[in-house]
Amino acid sequence: MTVPAPLSHAEIEELLGAYALDAVDPGTAAVVEEHLDGCVRCAAEVAQHHEVAGLMANSGGAPPTALWDGIAGRLGGTSDDSWDRLAARLDVPDDGAARGGGDVVPLDQSRRRSRRVTAGAGLVAAAAAAVALTLGVQVDHLHSQVSALQAAPQLSGAERAALAARGTERITLTDPSRPGAHATPATIVLTASGTGFVVNDRGDGLAPLASDRTYQLWGVVGSRTISLGLLGTHPGIVPFSVAGSPGVTTFAITDEVAGGVVKSANQPVAVGTVQV
């Protein structure tokens, strides 16, 4: 591949049509793409050319069904990096939309929304400290235990891939109001890259809430308690991300009004501490 000489704006403009039709060599394409990153006008022109090309190609017709089977069978090959990028978008309160059960917001609206809501440190930190003192910390490395969770039908291929990643841990959440209780309300699976899942697939886990309530996930980072997202009224397996706030030492789940709260005044229904 030859490296083209630097091109002027006018020279790149002349290439836009050919570029949009993939009719330039890779080196020239790279030069054009670099220019497009900083030139709104040229980027808009390429978008217009793509629309015209799309119209030329638009033959419609029904897609081959067998091809979809092939696509669906390969969805599990998603990379963990890709999952991380997407999971970063999941930390907005979505009340179950992550599982396809709620409204879907446009991409840019999702990006504009606040990533996390900071709450007071006292409530959950105190509860977590109490749990740590009285019940001890229950943290299990997955290894052989991950297989049962991976087999859960609700998990997509991407989630299964994340679970299989090295360094993934499971944090068992306990009910602080029922010290010593055998049943665990929920489990958190946390990958080394900061992607996590709240798992409530047990019959004796988090009970379904009324429609005007929601479970809310919190994380304690140092002296701060941050909201990690809404889990909905009856969460099954809900992904979240702490990639932007590493160092979460404690997770807690509270029962809140629908829409969630900035600062909780309720006792956690489940708390678990991450092994240092």
β 237-241/224-232 pair status: unpaired
- Contacts made by residues 94-103, CB under 8 angstroms, sequence distance 24+: 94/229, 94/230, 95/214, 95/230, 95/231, 95/232, 95/233, 95/258, 95/259, 96/230, 96/231, 96/232, 96/233, 96/235, 96/238, 98/238, 98/239, 99/154, 99/232, 99/236, 99/237, 99/238, 101/232, 102/232
Q: Which residues contact 222 (CB under 8 A, 6 or more apart)?
A: 247, 249
Answer for which of 7, 18, 137, 261 binds another protein (CB under 8 A) is 18
State the distance between the two ends of the chain, measured CA to CA, in whole angstroms.
50
Binding status of residue 237 toward another protein by CB under 8 A: no
Please state the closest distance from residue 235 (CB atom) to another protein, in A: 14
Binding status of residue 1 toward another protein by CB under 8 A: no
Binding status of residue 164 toward another protein by CB under 8 A: no
Please state the closest distance from residue 44 (CB atom) to another protein, in A: 8
* The pair of three-digit structure tokens given for residue 187, joined into one six-digit string: 């489990």
Contacting another protein within 25-44 (CB under 8 A): 25, 43
Binding status of residue 153 toward another protein by CB under 8 A: no
Rounded alpha-carbon distances, angstroms, from residue 230 to 32, 99, 209, 265: 42, 12, 13, 16
Please state the closest distance from residue 221 (CB atom) to another protein, in A: 24
CA 132 to chain centroid:
28
Choice between 100 and 180, CB closer to another protein: 100
C-alpha torsion 131→136→139→140, nearest 10? -140
Binding status of residue 129 toward another protein by CB under 8 A: no
Binding status of residue 181 toward another protein by CB under 8 A: no
Contacting another protein within 67-106 (CB under 8 A): 67-68, 70-72, 74-75, 77-79, 82, 85-86, 89-90, 94, 97-106
Choice between 121 and 164, CB closer to another protein: 164
Which of these ranges, 7-15, 187-195, 241-249, 262-270, lies near another protein under the rule CB under 8 A? 7-15
Choice between 102 and 137, CB closer to another protein: 102
Please state the closest distance from residue 54 (CB atom) to another protein, in A: 3
User: Phi and psi at residue 184, in whole multiples of 5°?
Assistant: -110, 130
**Which residues would be at the binding site for another protein (CB under 8 A)?**
13-18, 20-25, 43, 47-64, 67-68, 70-72, 74-75, 77-79, 82, 85-86, 89-90, 94, 97-108, 110, 156, 158-159, 239
